[in-house]
A and B are shown apart, each in its own frame.
Chain A
Amino acid sequence: GAGVSQSPRYKVAKRGQDVALRCDPISGHVSLFWYQQALGQGPEFLTYFQNEAQLDKSGLPSDRFFAERPEGSVSTLKIQRTQQEDSAVYLCASSPYRVSNQPQHFGDGTRLSIL
C-alpha cells in the first residue's frame, strides 16, 4: 500500500506476556519513528531509526521495551513482561529524509490493551 501499515490493529494481552508490534513504513523511507499515545493524550516519542540504525532510544520508558529494524525497512516494537500502564496506542511514522523540517507520515496505530 501507499501508506504506513501497522499490525495488528488491536492487541489484547494478559499482564506479564510479551507482545510484538509491527510497522511497515512507506517504501524507501529512511527514517522511522515510534510514538506512544496514552488515552486522552498526545503521542510521545519512543525511538527513532535511520535506516537500520537506532539513533535515539531515549524515549523508551523502560528496559522492557525494545525496537529493531534489521534491514532498514520493517520495524518491530517488542514489549516484554507487559504491565497495565503499557496500555496505549502505539503509532509508527516514517519520513523519506534523514533529518528535515518536513512532516512524518503516520500509520493507524496498534491499540494495546493489557488485562
Chain B
Amino acid sequence: GDSVTQMEGPVTLSEEAFLTINCTYTATGYPSLFWYVQYPGEGLQLLLKATKADDKGSNKGFEATYRKETTSFHLEKGSVQVSDSAVYFCALLADRGSTLGRLYFGRGTQLTVWP
C-alpha cells in the first residue's frame, strides 16, 4: 500500500543554516505530494505541494521537488529562521483505488532553530 517514510528528528540548527528533511514514498499510482507544518498547539498548515513528477513546490523560502525516479520529495530551505521551528510532515495523497483521496503522512520531523 501507499506509505511515506520521513527522516527522523529532532533536527536542531542555528539560524541561517541550510535545512534538508528527507522524505521518500511508496505508491501504486501517481500521487500528489505535500509538506505540512504544525506549530505548537495548532493544526496542520499546508506549506507546499507538487502534483506531478518534476514539479517543484515552493513557499516562504522552502522548496521540494517531486522526483519519481527516486520516489522522493525532500524539503529544503537555504537559510532557516527561529520562526521556522515547528514539526514538518511529508504527505502523499492517494490517487486511485479504495484509498482514493486519503492522505498518508510521515511521522513528522521536529525542527528547532536557535538564534
Contact = CB atoms under 8 A, between A and B. Distances in A.
B105 A56 contact: no
Using C-beta atoms within 8 Å of the partner chain, give the interface range for chain A: 20 to 34
A108 B34 CA distance: 18
Interface in A95-110: 99-109
Contacts of A100: 101
B82 to A, nearest CB: 22
B103 A104 contact: yes
Interface residues of B, number: 28
B106 A42 contact: yes
Interface in A21-49: 31, 33, 35, 40-45, 48
A58 interface: yes
Nearest to B107: A42
B101 A42 contact: no
A79 B95 CA distance: 29
22 contacts: A6-B43, A33-B101, A40-B107, A41-B107, A42-B91, A42-B106, A42-B107, A43-B89, A43-B103, A56-B98, A91-B43, A91-B44, A93-B44, A93-B103, A99-B100, A100-B101, A101-B51, A102-B32, A103-B34, A106-B44, A107-B43, A108-B43
Interface of A: 4, 6, 31, 33, 35, 40-45, 48, 56, 58-59, 91, 93, 99-109
